[in-house]
Amino acid sequence: MNYNIALVPGDGIGPDVTAESVKVMDKVGEKYGHKFQFTTVLAGGAAIDAEGTCLPRNTVDVCKNSDAVFLGAVGGWKWDTLPGDQRPERAILGLRKELGLFANLRPALLFEELAGACPLKAEIIEGGLDIVVVRELTGGIYFGEKGYKNTELGRAAYDVEQYSEEEVKRIAVVAFDMAMKRNKKLISVDKANVLESSRLWRSVVTEIAKGYPEVALNHMYVDNAAMQLVRDPKQFDVIVTSNLFGDILSDEASMITGSIGMLPSASLAKGNFGLYEPIHGSAPDIAGQNKANPMASILSFAMMMRYTFGLTNEADEIEKAVKSVLGKGCRTADIMSPGYELIGTKEMGDRIVKAIDEQ
């Protein structure tokens, strides 16, 4: 099979980790008889420097005409002084809107080999952690009305949190479908004791639950959910929540696994189309120094295999290779601890390619 992928290396360590991921993809293609055709386009700071805008029209067009999109990372201190609507990070919001990416999947998986890096007590994480946060991605406060006005207390700024029934329905369906494929447990997170938007959210999710009688649905306020993630994370399996709450909780969930450098993500539209990216930032302080951990990026490609292309065996192959390399004691600086072998970005990519070859 032939697959066309829009490649957006971006800024900072984005190009570093993307290069290693492409090596892994090429190896998978060679082994399974697939052809992955990559078209590289600009977004973020790199696009600002080259074309004066964080999301050129050509980038959007190439992404729309591809089977899937892969993103490295965007942003960096070089562009910190730009106005908010011109910053590199706006490219991400633009792509989500242009591509209709309404569902963000963030797995928080604690690799057995990295259990020692988890900041929680050993007894709390005994048996491992495997959580998926399903975050609504194109609604809520990030996309609502915003602005400034004058008040008796001086200038004020506002951002509106708004959700429609359809926006909640479609993300709820994604979450319930995910729960059906896992342990049939779903926790919907909101702030229904305070916010009208959350009351609608809870009402719609409860209605959708009637179509999934096998899934045990529970509701949880966001402040309690944040506490429970560190108190008893194993009670969670699939979490569904709004854009703002999902942004915060998915980062919290990622850190209890020990390293943000290990975790991939998928942003999905209707059908099988998706954008895939590691959840770590651009880390400009180590860009180009062969220090970045490429595993989250490589695992993002595994998610692409699974969710967009339906290539389950190929996805399993990548994930097994990552575990194999970790099992042999190979570590990048962010997950390094005494007694293990410290290697760089490029060598980690090479080791994972070799592991795929040997499987």
Residues taking part in catalysis:
142, 191, 223, 247, 251
Dihedral of the alpha carbons of 230, 236, 238, 243, in degrees to the nearest 10: -30
Return the closest-CA partner of residue 299 out of 337, 259, 339. 259
Which residues, including other chains, have CB under 8 Å from residue 189's CB and lie 6 or more apart?
219, 220, 221, 222, 225, 239, 240, 241, 242, 245, 249
What backbone phi and psi angles, to 5 degrees, belong to 185?
Answer: -130, 130
Q: What is the rounded distance in angstroms from the CA atom of residue 42 to the CA atom of residue 19?
A: 15
Environment class of residue 85 by beta-carbon count within 10 Å: exposed (0-12), middle (13-18) or buried (19+)?
A: exposed
Residue 133: strand, helix, or coil: strand
Q: What is the rounded distance in angstroms from the CA atom of residue 285 to the CA atom of residue 251?
A: 21
Residue 54: strand, helix, or coil: coil
Q: 233 near 240, Cβ under 8 Å? A: no
Return the closest-CA partner of residue 73 out of 347, 348, 287. 287
Strand ranges across the sheet with 35-40 = 35-40, 2-10, 68-73, 274-278, 264-268, 103-109, 130-136, 238-241, 185-190, 216-221
